[in-house]
Structure 1
Amino acid sequence: MTDTTEILVEPGRQDIVVSRVFDAPREKVFAALTDPKLVAQWWGAGGPGELEIAEFEARRGGTYRHINRDETGAEYVFSGVFHDVEAPERVVQTFEFEGVPGHVALESTALEELDDGRTAYTALSVYQSVEDRDGIVAAGMEQGVRAGLQKLAELVES
C-alpha cells in the first residue's frame, strides 16, 4: 500500500492541510473517524506503545481524550471538543496536546465521495499563531500524521 498522504505547510501561515485518497467508501472512512473502537485501531500509530481512548463522543459538544503511552510508560495526552459532526461528510473538532496546554488548533475534516467508490480526505488544521503551527511541525507532526493515516488506510481498505 503506497502512502499517498500530502501535507501542505506553507511558510508564514497558521494552517496545515493534509490530503489523501482512500480506496474505501466515504461511510467506512467516516465510521473510522467517529467510532472509538475503530479510532483506537489507527490513531497515534506513529510508534511503539499503547493508546487508551479515555473519552470519545463524536457529536456536537462531545469530547475526546486519547492517552498515548510509549514503551517507557511516558504518557502523551491529546484532547478536544467536537464542534460539528455531519455524517458522512464532515468532522470539526479542536485538538490540544495537554503537554503544552493552551495551544489549541481547530481541525476540519472533509470527506468527498469520488465516482470510483474511493474517498478524498482533506483535513485543515488552523493554529492560533504561526509559532504554534511551526512548533507542532518541528515536534514531528508529519511523521505521526503519515503513520496514522497509513494505519487508517489499512483499516478502511481491508
Structure 2
Amino acid sequence: MGDTEFVIEPGRQDIVMIRGFDAPRDVVFQVVTDPELVPRWWGPRFLTTRVDRMEVRPGGRWRYVNVDSRGREYFFSGVYHAVVAPERIVRTWEFEGTPGEVALETVTLEAVDGGTRYVAQSVHPSVEARDAIVRADGPRGGRESMDRLAEVLAAGS
C-alpha cells in the first residue's frame, strides 16, 4: 500500500513512522507479535535478527539481537506496557549500546480499505536522543523493516 513515511519535526522528541499494508489488521498484528516471524522482518537487510526474549503481554519483556556479517551483536530490549489485539502495542525500547536512552513506542494498527495502516510513534527522552537515532540512520532501519514486513505479509507469513 505504499512507501514508509516518517514525521521528524525539529525540536520534538518523537519519530513517527507510517506504512500501509495490503493485509488485514489481525494478520499484521499476528506477524509483528510472533517471535518466530520477527527475525524475518525486523531490522535492516544487512543484519540478521535473533529473538532472545519476547513475552507479548503487559509487563512482558523483549530482547532482540541484530548481528552483522562479522558476528558483532547489537542488543535492543524493553518492556511491553499494553497489548490490545489487534489494534495497539505500547512498549519501551532501548539500544543497549546507549543505556538509559529509553524510548516509549506506541504502534497503532488501523483497518483501512481492506488493508492496515501501521503507525509507530517513538518518544525519546530528549530531542538530542531522538536526533542521535536519526543521525545513526534509524529511519533506514525502520524503512527496511517495513519493506521486509510487507514481503512477509505478501508471502502469507
Kept after mapping to 2: 8 A contact 1:68/1:76: yes
Residues 98-125 of structure 1: per-residue CA shift (max 9 Å, x gap)? 01110000000000011x3110111111
Say which SS state the counterpart of residue 99 (structure 1) adopts: coil
Once the two structures are aligned, what percentage of the paired residues are identical? 52
Q: 2:137 matched to which residue of 1?
A: 140
Per the normalisation by structure 2, the TM-score is 0.95
CA RMSD of aligned residues (A): 1.1
- Code of the residue aligned with 1:69 in structure 2: it is V
Deviation at 1:69, TM superposition (A): 1.0
Say which SS state the counterpart of residue 3 (structure 2) adopts: coil
Deviation at 1:3, TM superposition (A): 5.0
Give unpaired runs (5+ residues) of structure 2: none
- Code of the residue aligned with 2:55 in structure 1: it is E
- Tell whether 2:22 aligns with 1:6: no
Q: 1:26 matched to which residue of 2?
A: 25
- Tell whether 2:124 aligns with 1:127: yes
Change in CA separation of 1:3 and 1:72 when aligned onto 2, cut-off 3 Å: farther
Say which SS state the counterpart of residue 37 (structure 1) adopts: coil
State how far apart, in whole Å, the 1-side matches of 2:71 and 2:63 are.
17
- Code of the residue aligned with 1:36 in structure 2: it is P
Choose the corresponding residue for 2:150, options 127, 131, 153.
153
Superposition misfits of 4+ residues, deviation over 6 angstroms: none
Kept after mapping to 1: 8 A contact 2:2/2:20: no
Change in CA separation of 1:156 and 1:75 when aligned onto 2, cut-off 3 Å: same
- Code of the residue aligned with 2:11 in structure 1: it is G
